[in-house]
Amino acid sequence: MEFHRFLFYASIILSISVYLFPIMANSMGINYGQIADNLPSPEDVVPIVKSIGATKVKLYDADPKVLKAFANTSVEFIVGLGNEYLDKMRDPAKAQAWVKQNVQSHLPATKITCIFVGNEVLTFNDTSLSNSLLPAMQSVHTALVNLGLDKQVTVTTAHSLSILETSYPPSSGAFREDLVDCLSETLSFHQKTGSPFLINAYPFFAYKGNPKQVQLDFVLFQPNQGVIDPATNLHYDNMLYAQIDAVYNALASLGYKKLPVHISETGWPSKGDEDEVGATPDNAKKYNGNLIKLMSKKTGTPMRPNSDLNIYVFALFNENMKPGPTSERNYGLFKPDGTPAYSLGISSTSNVAGSNTTTGGTNGKPLSPIPTPPSTPTSSSTGYLSISPATGRYEFVGTVLLASLILTKMLLW
């Protein structure tokens, strides 16, 4: 590496690690997207990933250049098989060929621990795609078994939060009725193979959808009064935890109470269009900085306080070629030149919502129970237009958004 480049990245590591390393007691995951034409080489990305204390990386493909660059670094990888591969992966022979070329060839030097097959497939409302999901997952798993890799590499898929019919209050979390049959088969696969359930969750969308009703502090993990789930008496002082516990309840309602849940994507954009309220560097700093603090505490959600948070922040870089609104190109912790998009400003965990999750009130004051929500639309086609950060595709998120609005509305009363 040239000397000036070494100095450049060394300065980044030193400046950022002062804030991050002291609190990174828990492993942090990061999404490494590459829909851009100006990103650093994979070799130069290695010190950037280490500078934020990330020990896990999620790719949206199995880029051999990236996997080779991270060889012998101990960084764990989730590699992806895009939706366009699902039909092809139904063929066991093709699945095995893909695994041999894209996974086995990099082991054990690069620590690949998981393959996610398809991204937010079930909310595409594409029957042919949905019908290919489980067979593709099964073929990939069978390939791992045949190659003797199934004990070290699991197979899963990532879901949008809009697979939920209800998420308010968290104790009433339930999957969409039209997806239950398909999900049940997939959940059975997870249980049999020991793979995690992945969910993409973005409180930013709820705030952007109705900033007058959603309290900003509640979605940014800032100090706030919080709310109580009347069925469980559990106290929630941030939206992400409420969303995660809604997923736990939805899984439990189908008999999968012990299935591990990982947040495969969550983040906050530092820039957006005029109608993308809240997309600012300061809010991105608060959301991601406070989230990293919470991950470092090795505590879980109110419903699962003893379970570590397995979260992958979205994203490592701003990606200049992503379609959609301006926010889509500004989720990165870093700019393409390797400099921070904003300072995370991490120093203390004393003023972070969720850092002391309890039941009951705060500061000696009782918390009001969550009010009974009004009836919500039953069709997921009623809602606001969001864009998947991973692919730039459009999909509707209806009842989940409305539930999130109701959850925080009482904070204004």
Is 296 exposed, middle or buried, given 0-12, 13-18 or 19+ CB atoms closer than 10 A?
buried
d(Cα 137, Cα 130) in Å, to the nearest integer? 12
Helix (H, G, I), strand (E, B) or coil at 389: coil
Residue 197: which H helix or E strand, with range?
strand 197-200
Q: 22 CB contacts (<8 Å, ≥6 apart)?
A: none
Tokens of 401: 């958004």
Who contacts 177 (Cβ-Cβ below 8 Å, separation ≥6)?
165
Phi, psi of 268 (to 5 degrees): -150, 130
List the alpha helices (DSSP H) in 124-238. Answer: 127-146, 180-193, 203-209, 216-219
Of 334, 340, 315, residue with least CA distance to 391:
315
Q: Tell me how far apart the alpha carbons of residues 196 and 114 are, in angstroms, rounded to a whole number.
A: 9
User: Annotated catalytic residue: which of 76, 265, 328, 395?
Assistant: 265
Residue 246: both structure tokens together: 């809604």
> Which residues on neighbouring strands pair with residue 80, listed in sequence order?
116
For residue 299, what are its two tokens? 């505590």
Q: Is 276 a catalytic residue?
A: no
Q: How many C-beta neighbours within 10 Å does residue 276 have? A: 18
The three-state secondary structure class of 396 is strand
Q: Looking at 120, 276, 319, 328, which residue is catalytic?
A: 120
Task: Please give the Cα distance from 225 to 353 (Å, whole number).
Answer: 9
The yes-or-no answer on residue 177 being catalytic is no
Quick check: 154 and 310 in contact, CB under 8 A? Answer: no
Q: Cα(391)–Cα(259) distance, rounded to whole angstroms? A: 26
Residues serving a catalytic function are 120, 265
